[in-house]
Amino acid sequence: MTSHVFLLVFAAALAASVAVRLWLAMRQAGFVRAHRETVPGAFASRIGIAAHRKAADYTVAKQRLSMLHVVVDAALLLAMTLGGGLASIVGWTETVDVGPLWRDVAMFAIAGVIYGAVNLPFSWWHTFRIEERFGFNRMTMALWLSDLAKGLAVAIALGLPLLVLVLWLMRAAGTYWWLWAWGAWMAFQLLVLVLYPTVIAPLFNKFTPMENSAARERIESLLGRCGFRSAGLFVMDGSRRSGHGNAYFTGFGKAKRIVFFDTLLLRLAPEEVEAVLAHELGHFKLRHVMKRILWSAVLSLAILALLAWLAQAPWFYAGLGIPESMLPIALSRPGVALELFLLVLPVFTFMLEPLSSLYSRRHEFEADAFATRHASAAALTAALVKLYEDNAATLTPDPLHSAFYDSHPPAAVRIARIEALVAREPMPLAA
Ligand SMILES: [Zn+2]
């Protein structure tokens, strides 16, 4: 491989990913707009035309913003690589009077600030323009800024030690540094899994044990039936930030917590809450979470091995905008390879996205089937319809856009499957 060939490969992959992203976004907006005036037959009795139009307009508004984001992201990546942005940062940090490892840390900090500054306006626009316009936003500017500050503090507290450790391993651990780095990365993931429910999430939200109620009784009986032990049921004040509702599990082993957004509990009837939880339990019982973790472990090992190989190849740097004269510096500072790699990796992994979406949708179908066996299928369908309506999720996605990106199957497909399951099997215990 020469640097010129690699440059061409990179440019072609970037152009292709930008073109596919924009094309899919245009298809999605066009498809949704074309179906704006008619609620699909299966939902006609459950969702009104006003809610359907709102979902269409919300989807189109989000697609427009994402198209702008795609273009700006690509321009920034070009500026950082072929435009010489990262080379300038490397050159400048080379003059700073600290050890070589800390020069790499400074380089990451500068690149991080640049990426943060470019992405921040998008996040602001999403919350205060789009979410606000459709009545979902409950955040004030002060809360948004304090979230930003806390997020940054958490990123530094957790990310900086990991970065320093990996940079140190790249220098000190020899040829197989990537195996050590992989071990560090796995340990880090485990640490976050422990810290997230107990330390990180409570920085942003209040978690209160769920009150005794009809919903709680149903949930406890469901957990008993499925033989599931947890460290508690919590309600999160999601309504502080947004009108969207959700439920999730965090932690692992016996320390698993079940968290409901207050917005979800307000909206769903007790048997619907039970059905939603049965779906989430399905993900756990069918080992979807474990499978995801294993996949990510295998992938990150492969990715680190690839990085170790590229870090020694002069064409990798030269093809991504590091001038010949700076190659000795780049080759002596492992952080340069790591930073370049992290910047360009998404361009190449983008084409794998449909596979990951497909895998995830298969798990959703399996969790739905689990839920229909342990709770009421009719309640699950009713809950899904309410959630689609409340989140203004479109009922008429472009099939290709959906196949490429969606981690959850389109509403119509999902509900049709649930109804087909019920038609085939006798009613479940909990009906
Ligand atoms: Zn699910």
| 386 vs 397: CA distance, rounded Å | 17
For 7-35, what is the mean pLDDT? 97
CA of 351 to the centre of ligand 1 (A): 23
CA of 285 to the centre of ligand 1 (A): 12
**In this structure, which amino acid lies at residue 299?**
L
Convert the pLDDT of each residue in 294-316 to its tens digit. 999 999 999 999 999 999 999 99
> Per the residue annotation, which of 104, 274, 364, 368 is the catalytic one?
368
CA of 209 to the centre of ligand 1 (A): 23
CA of 328 to the centre of ligand 1 (A): 49
Q: What is the pTM of this model?
A: 0.88
Q: For residue 325, give every residue at least 6 positions away whose Cβ sits within 8 Å of its Cβ, in sequence order, or none.
A: none
CA of 56 to the centre of ligand 1 (A): 23
368 is catalytic: yes
Q: Is the pLDDT of residue 36 over 90?
A: yes
| 400 vs 34: CA distance, rounded Å | 15
Q: SS3 of 176, please?
A: coil
- Tokens 């492992």 sit at which residue? 334
What per-residue confidence (pLDDT) applies to 390?
Answer: 84
CA of 117 to the centre of ligand 1 (A): 33
280 is catalytic: yes
Convert the pLDDT of each residue in 63-73 to its tens digit. 999 999 999 99
- Tokens 């207050």 sit at which residue? 262
In 1-154 the beta strands, taken as DSSP E runs, fall at: none
Convert the pLDDT of each residue in 204-255 to its tens digit. 999 999 988 888 989 999 999 888 877 789 999 988 888 887 888 877 777 7
> Per the residue annotation, which of 280, 339, 364, 398 is the catalytic one?
280
What per-residue confidence (pLDDT) applies to 429?
Answer: 54
How distant, in Å, are the alpha carbons of 30, 50, 212, 233, 261 from that of 274?
37, 29, 14, 13, 14
Tokens for 295?
């996949």
**In this structure, which amino acid lies at residue 320?**
L
| 191 vs 196: CA distance, rounded Å | 8
Q: Is the pLDDT of residue 431 over 50?
A: no
Give 153's Cβ-side CA count (13 Å radius).
10
CA of 258 to the centre of ligand 1 (A): 14
**Which of 163, 161, 76 shows the shortest CA–CA distance to 115?**
76
| 70 vs 375: CA distance, rounded Å | 42
Instruction: Return the bridge partners of 238, or none.
Output: none
Contact indicator for 366, 288 with CB cutoff of 8 Å: yes
How distant, in Å, are the alpha carbons of 164, 259, 322, 354 from that of 108?
11, 35, 16, 30
